Structure 1
Amino acid sequence: MTSKIYIDTLLVKAGSTSGVYLRGEVRGETVYMPLTLDGARQIAADLHRAAAAVEGLPLRDKPLH
């Protein structure tokens, strides 16, 4: 069984530690984890599924103009 991971912040850093990192918290400490290509693809797939789910929701509230 895989555990769910919730992303607080996606951080892009430049300079000597350039790259793309996920910023999170472990036991009260801020940690930065490098985002791998596979990780980025998984996030993209998750966002695609989320967009499809939102698209399928019925519109309950009409826009107020």
Structure 2
Amino acid sequence: MLRPRDDGTYEAECLMLPGCTCVARSRQQALEKMQNLVSEALREEKVGATRYEIVYLAVGRSS
């Protein structure tokens, strides 16, 4: 989940991995930080499953 904050920064959170959250100055920086956090969590096997796939999904807002 990625959301802008009132102070102009972005907060990113991976809902499937507890504690996997970050705040960054830009949207792109938040996504890069989150990708690194998720990759690290999977490398360290902090999660129970043995196979994961990172999928990007863009959802547009309806008027």
TM range, smaller chain: 0.3 to 0.5
Normalising by the residue count of structure 1, what TM-score does the alignment of the two structures yield? 0.35
Higher percent of residues as strand: 1
Q: Whose RCO is larger (CA < 8 A, sep 6+)?
A: 2
Larger radius of gyration: 1
